[in-house]
Amino acid sequence: MSKRVIVVGGGAAGMTAALAVANAGGKVTLITSAIGGGSSPWAQGGVAAAVGPDDSPDQHFLDTLACGAGLVDEAAARVLTEEAPARIADLLAAGVPFDREPDGSLALGLEGGHHRRRIIHAGGGATGWHIVRSLANVVLATPDISVLEGPSVTAIRTHAGRATGVELVWPDGIDGVLEGPVVLATGGCAGLYGRSTNPGTVNGGGIGLAWQAGAALADLEFVQFHPTALDLPAADMGHKALLLTEALRGEGGQLLDSRGRRFLAEGPLAHPLAELAPRDIVARAIHYARQDGPVYLSLRHVDPDHIRARFPNLVALLKPLGLDLATDLLPVAPAAHYVMGGVWSDLHGATTVPGLYVAGEVACTGVHGANRLASNSLLECLVFGRRAGLAALEGVQPDGFDDMLNRGVALEADPPLPADEGVSGAALGEILDHNLGVIRDEAGIVEALARLAEDGNGVVARRIALGAWLRRESRGAHFRVDYPEPVEAWRGRIIQQRGQPPHFAPVRAAVAAGERA
């Protein structure tokens, strides 16, 4: 009888893992509170892959490294960029209707930090929705994949330090247990923030499950803030914060301050890549420019017919708000968007708990370093989703964690203040927005640590805060006004594990030696 793997999560990573197991001859139980219940269907811009005639995986690798501010795991970035074209071929075989040029070739967009056009997209800016729909069609038609849609996984079962299965509960309260190796693909935690582009369901629940099971977490202080989320009161939008995809800037969109100046092209906030600088830089520039008044994204100088044809879904989303994508000045501000950190994993999704594998945004292979390159996260779901599924089927053991720890040192264990009774929901989102946002400092982080409890969503929020408190430098998406520069001695990863002091581990020697980043 072939082996059965449990996959938790019905987004791009979970469905990719499930299909990899089934294609390799295994059986799968895919448990998900909802197919497409997380971030995947909301992804707009696209998937990065070096498929253009002027491009190469090597160039994509270098862009990934440069964006990650010295913390990218070089081996993971190699895997990501070299396997990308094959995973795009898988999606084409699954029926994803990627947009094409008139000559039939794939249409390639441009986004911040990329030096080539390599963003493959569908439905204009509806890439995630098309990927989820196509993958779901194949998953539901695959006899070796049993889909349980509705239940939530509430615990990962362990025995003698190994993951042995999961506990789950259905919406009507009926619970159950399933046994087998587990691939966790439950998404990230940026939806914990009050101002976030993620659905509120993306609240780090899976990261918390892995923590409770004893798995090591890494890099949680690195939360990416998308520079251009619509800056209108949430009640007006029906969304927490509506994303205006980076691809709009790739098509020529300009950022204007309240005096109509392109502040990324000229003046003290300017950058050589202007609006297409890496996300952390653009987000900080917008933050500072907004101190003098609203900041706008403008496409007024681009052919309106081109914009309307390229981004039909955004045109439709903005229309009820009385905004015209092509001709109006669109008020924008940063919003929490993505977490680079997560459950530590090796190149095959194996965590420090044997039998537990992770893939997608819940995982932290180190591939994004301190700042993710745009459109590398759907790609991560595809590349590492497949790897994690196969590893779970074959029972691959975790590799490299002990070596990494041995290179490092233990850090101060105690946060500066004891946690009080804790906050949840909106209050938790507010604390994260105000104290752990684009700009951080000691006082704000300490205040957050004092207010966030070690329970529920507070567990993951506290891991973000503790990492931010420990990391006394600025690097990538983590910016502290009290330590505004990167510090070479901090060029490594903060590992957090339940019941143990946090640990600092330098990045692999290959990356530390390479000055390409």
Ligand X SMILES: Cc1cc2nc3c(=O)[nH]c(=O)nc-3n(C[C@H](O)[C@H](O)[C@H](O)COP(=O)(O)OP(=O)(O)OC[C@H]3O[C@@H](n4cnc5c(N)ncnc54)[C@H](O)[C@@H]3O)c2cc1C
Stretch that binds ligand X, among 10-18, 50-58, 155-163, 463-471 (CB under 6 A): 10-18
SS3 of residue 223 by DSSP: strand
Task: Report in angstroms the alpha-carbon separations of 351 from 228, 357, 358, 397.
Answer: 34, 6, 7, 8
Determine phi and psi for 172, rounding to 5 degrees.
-85, 5
Among 5, 6, 14, 222, binds ligand X (CB under 6 A): 14
CA distance 57 to 380: 14
Determine phi and psi for 493, rounding to 5 degrees.
-115, 140
Among 21, 31, 136, 477, binds ligand X (CB under 6 A): 31
Give, as ranges, the residues between 178 and 207 that touch ligand X (CB under 6 A). 185-187, 197-198, 202, 205-206
CA distance 187 to 356: 15
DSSP letters for 116-154: S--EE-BTTT-HHHHHHHHHHHHHHT-TTEEEEES-EEE
Cα 120–chain centre separation: 18
Determine phi and psi for 279, rounding to 5 degrees.
-60, -40
Q: Is 40 in the site for ligand X (CB under 6 A)?
A: yes
Among 6, 12, 66, 69, binds ligand X (CB under 6 A): 12
Adjacent-strand bridge partners of 495: 218, 503
Q: Is 123 in the site for ligand X (CB under 6 A)?
A: no
CB of 242 to ligand X, least distance (A): 8
453 and 420 Cβ atoms separated by less than 8 Å:
yes
CB of 372 to ligand X, least distance (A): 8
Tell me if residue 308 is catalytic: no
Q: Is 437 in the site for ligand X (CB under 6 A)?
A: no
Give, as ranges, the residues between 332 and 371 that touch ligand X (CB under 6 A). 338, 360-362
Give, as ranges, the residues between 375 and 414 that touch ligand X (CB under 6 A). 375-378, 381
- Which residue from 347, 349, 375 is spatially nearest to 362, judged by alpha carbons? 349
Among 153, 210, 216, 295, binds ligand X (CB under 6 A): 153
CB of 287 to ligand X, least distance (A): 19
Q: Is 228 in the site for ligand X (CB under 6 A)?
A: no
CB of 292 to ligand X, least distance (A): 28
Structure tokens at 174: 């009926």
Q: Is 11 in the site for ligand X (CB under 6 A)?
A: yes
87, 118, 279, 372: which is the annotated catalytic residue? Answer: 279
* Identity at 75, one-letter amino acid code: A
Catalogue the active-site residues. Answer: 279
Q: Which residues bind ligand X (CB under 6 A)?
A: 8-14, 31-34, 37-40, 42-47, 127-128, 152-153, 185-187, 197-198, 202, 205-206, 243, 338, 360-362, 375-378, 381
